[in-house]
Copies of this chain bind each other. A is one copy, B any other.
């Protein structure tokens, strides 16, 4: 590697001390205006690039934050990253991106590597396989600020930015109830996953608000994927052939897509015979033959808020533990039959 120009070389070229060069380039006071100018010029001419590594070693601050993403491809996360990058960039921070690939071990390694690289803070969305939440607490005890986004771990004193799943699920369910749909089926997520649980809670909450009974038999576990949605919906269609629900709330869009297929295969019309809504505004939602009513999750906003919170912590502008919620937005399309 061709060696880089250092501050002391700039100093030597000008016959002054390294310290003055440092002061001049960092806009410190007590530097003669003319000296400053000469330093700047010489630095530029010699192609001086400050060595941020050396700086970091002294200052104990890297202006870098670590971001751990469980799944890069899922369109939600790139949006989050965009938000993170936007805010970080403005604040003068760079991001080191790590991919845990939903793997607890890789996630742990990633965090350690980030700590080793002395990032000023970490943004993380936990991998699905993570069991040992204690580790996060340890990291925080080391004085490394940690903020969760999207998938949060509560009770360890970490701030957290997420989509309000419960409220959003309530919102979309209310939308159906309000338009007279009842009874409503729910294709639920895997029972162990928090997100699925929250959405189910929202589904119930909406019913309470409207004084309607939730028909437990109409809650069928579908998981997060299309096939699960298809199967779950088939189960419902078969079991309640004579007494079909008027509408379906799916735990997410892919599950809804599967369900729509099942409904159509049965020769039923959407939304006339059965209305259906999803969750997460998958890119395909508006492209379906019958565009899907759903909840748009503002991933970009999640990223921005999480980054802002982390940087506030890093810069000790606050030390509050917050649970920040980004509201979901109801996107009404044809599949619920409410638009017009």
CB pair A72–B64 under 8 Å, yes or no, is: no
Q: A72-B85, A95-B96 are in contact. Are A116 and B78 (CB under 8 A)?
A: no
Chain B residues with Cβ below 8 Å from A57 are 51, 53-54, 57
A193 in the interface, Cβ–Cβ < 8 Å?
A: no
Chain B residues with Cβ below 8 Å from A47 are 138, 142
Q: For the complex, what is the distance from the CA of A4 to the CA of B53, rounded to whole Å?
A: 18
What band does the interface of chain A fall in when counting residues whose beta carbon is under 8 Å from B?
35 or more
Which chain A residues in 138-182 approach chain B with CB under 8 Å?
138, 141-144
CB pair A2–B142 under 8 Å, yes or no, is: yes
Chain B residues with Cβ below 8 Å from A288 are 287
Of residues A3, A86, A97, which shows the largest number of chain B Cβ atoms within 10 Å of its Cβ? A97
Chain B residues with Cβ below 8 Å from A11 are none
Q: For the complex, what is the distance from the CA of A39 to the CA of B275, rounded to whole Å?
A: 65
Q: A85-B97, A143-B1 are in contact. Are A53 and B49 (CB under 8 A)?
A: no
Tell me, rounded to whole Å, the shortest Cβ–Cβ distance linking A253 to chain B. 12
A212 in the interface, Cβ–Cβ < 8 Å?
A: no
Interface string of A44-88 (1 = CB under 8 A from B): 000101111110110010101001000011010111011001100
Q: For the complex, what is the distance from the CA of A50 to the CA of B53, rounded to whole Å?
A: 15
Q: For the complex, what is the distance from the CA of A94 to the CA of B141, rounded to whole Å?
A: 24
Q: For the complex, what is the distance from the CA of A97 to the CA of B72, rounded to whole Å?
A: 13
Partner of A64, one of B81, B117, B143: B117
CB pair A115–B49 under 8 Å, yes or no, is: yes
Residue of B nearest to A117 (CB): B52
A89 in the interface, Cβ–Cβ < 8 Å?
A: yes
Q: A95-B97, A117-B53 are in contact. Are A78 and B72 (CB under 8 A)?
A: yes
Q: A2-B141, A94-B113 are in contact. Are A53 and B99 (CB under 8 A)?
A: no
Residues of A within 8 A of B (CB): 1-4, 47, 49-54, 56-57, 60, 62, 64, 67, 72-73, 75, 77-79, 81-82, 85-86, 89, 94-99, 106, 112-118, 138, 141-144, 283-284, 287-289
A-B contact pairs, 11 of them (CB 8 A): A2-B143, A4-B143, A47-B138, A50-B116, A52-B116, A64-B96, A89-B99, A94-B96, A284-B287, A287-B287, A287-B288
